[in-house]
Amino acid sequence: MAKTPSGFVSLTSLKGGAPVPAVALAEIRKIYFATTRQTIDNDFAHAIELLQSLPSEEEREKASVYMEGIAQMQRDWATATRRKTKAGAKKPARRSHE
């Protein structure tokens, strides 16, 4: 099982049960439009928690577009971060003394 990001609080622990499907779908949509590079990990974990609370396959299909978008943002931002870190870690080439 994946480690839950620090700072993330499970929705079920706050409300004591599964949210109403329409509310959960609206929250996933809200997360999709509001997520940032700094919040993507917690937002993705929250969206997964909401997705798992949806009782029917039909409702999960409605959320799939937003979930795929959130997952793509997470991949893109992680790749960009790795590239930036990798580029900054390169050592300058040594120049030979002639």
What are the pLDDT digits (tens) for 35-48?
A: 999 999 999 999 99
Q: Where are the alpha helices (DSSP H) in the chain?
A: 11-15, 21-34, 40-53, 57-89
Mean pLDDT within 6-15: 59
Mean pLDDT within 70-87: 86
pTM of the full predicted structure? 0.68
CB contact set of 95 (below 8 Å; sequence gap of 6+): none
Residue 74, pLDDT above cutoff 80: yes
Residue matched to tokens 């029917």: 56
Least confidently predicted of 16-30, 59-73, 74-88: 74-88
Question: What was the pLDDT predicted at 97?
Answer: 63
